[in-house]
Structure 1
Amino acid sequence: MTVSPIVKGFWDELTGSWQYVFHDPATMKGAIVDPVLDFDLDSGRTATDNADRILAYVAGQGLDIEWVLDTHPHADHFSAATYLKERLGVPAAIGEHVVRVQKLWKEIYNLPDGFPTDGRQWDRLFADGEEFMVGALPVRVMFSPGHTMASITYIAGDAAFVHDTLMMPDSGTSRADFPGGDSKALYASIQRILALPDDTRLFIGHDYRPDGREARCEATVAEHKAANKHLKGGATLEEFTEIRAARDATLTLPKLMLSALQVNIRGGRLPEPEEDATSYLKIPLNQALGQGGR
């Protein structure tokens, strides 16, 4: 019998991001997925409002958190993984291909030779097909590249956290034009996700509320097969890549992308403080980082 974890979503309106806490109802042990560290671009200030909402929920529900999980290095918000792992005393994890993203963005940011690109910023790097436990609930890792080279999906019972592969059905799918992105790989990843049982609940990474509707985060595999605007009717690889290329050509880079990636390839840590005890972000100028990559 498939266990149905209890899932609580937290929406960050500023970035359109969904964060999650899921737990095994039998043991009350849980995990946090894709937490947001607040960042105000105008002032350069960080804050922990989103992460503290998660901590308040965890305490209020009496949950024992065992993992802080990221699905990939995010381009549109800072990760609060380090903040939460330090407060909860638990390991942080991500997929093993994060090292490829680190190497790519180390070059883009021209970071010093000493910057580590071996994933040591996380406690665990998961491989495709690897399983770990949250209480009595087995969680399987599915490598899901396309949006990034490092993206993974966490499958926990009848819930799957699919990050930036799918949007809600009325929004379609996620972009594949970031450095290291690939629409063909994204199509293959989506097909693996849609091969899960039809009643699997898919929890997405973002919702931008088309037509001003309320924010949503969940739809089943069956609902995506029937109604996802980029996939319904069984779109072929060629049809999908054409749809994705046309859509991506209209998109600008996320507002926080160039700030966020240099934090998120560090596992959610700010750059090391300089001699004045202040951390600084480094923004590459005049780089072609969208619509096909660098």
Structure 2
Amino acid sequence: MTALVGDIGGTNARFALWRNQKIESVRVLPTVDYPRPEDAIRAYLQGTGQSVDALQAVCLACAGPVSGDEFAFTNNHWRLSRKAFCEDLGLSDLLLVNDFTAMALGMTRLREGELIEVCPGRSEPGAARLVIGPGTGLGVATLLPLPDGGWRALPGEGGHVCLPIGTSREAALWARLHDKFGHVNAEAILSGGGLLELYRTSCVLDGKQPSLATPAEVTAAALTGDAYASSVLEQFCVWLGRIAGDNVLTTGSRGGVYIAGGIVPRFVEFFIRSGFSQSFRDKGCMSRYFDEIPVWVVTADYPGLEGAGVALQQLLEGPSSGG
């Protein structure tokens, strides 16, 4: 079978061919460069010398809740109709999955050297695992082990839960964010744009003139010794710990936590030294619940694409084909 798999976020669309249960010919295309996903796929196929007619299946992992015929991407301008998409590309069917469903399934394909330990521990047999990752947005999914050795991913929109407050400083930041946005969700801070928002809001709170203009500048300044930028990045890590811990309590993910997405791998050493671990387990009477839960940062290049391939394979063969 020759299939096309895609992992489409707010900023980039990643495409690959899925053959013999492996991804090939990976390309990354900016979503802003194309009016529709169909146009990006045609450009990808042309660039890899493939014909649309050669495709036997397509699976797209998309940021946002997936249901029905129409799909609107959460963090970019694309919209998609399954029926129109198939008619345009001459396909019989299109498999759409949530992007973090694919990311979760991608965890079943990780290779040696693609995980960095943040919190040591021991995976509880048969327990769920949490997959969470800041990127253009904040993705969250749960990975469930099956009795036959396969895996099932449970999609969700955990990035849109309420941002928790654990200190008076966080309460003050939250109040500023609430004045600006109304509802303050986790993604408002735990994303690329959220890091910049956290920096700007912190500056307003502290009466400081902002001098950094992008998330990359905030991160770079923090890593090169800027004390204020470091404090902002530290708060980002602490808030990620609070949200990850809340999700573990909700889903019972004592099998472990994968920190995925494109942001945290850029500052892994800082992240390991940060207050993430403490805030992750800072749950009052339930703090001991976290004593043996391992946490890893995922450094694999294309786990979402791998997971889209696994989702397609599961559709054809059943959940036990997930790795």
TM-score, scaled to structure 1: 0.31
Higher RCO (CA-CA < 8 Å; seq separation 6+): 2
Is the helix fraction higher in 1 or 2?
2
Between structure 1 and structure 2, the one with the greater Rg is 2
Could you tell me the TM-score, scaled by structure 2's length?
Answer: 0.29
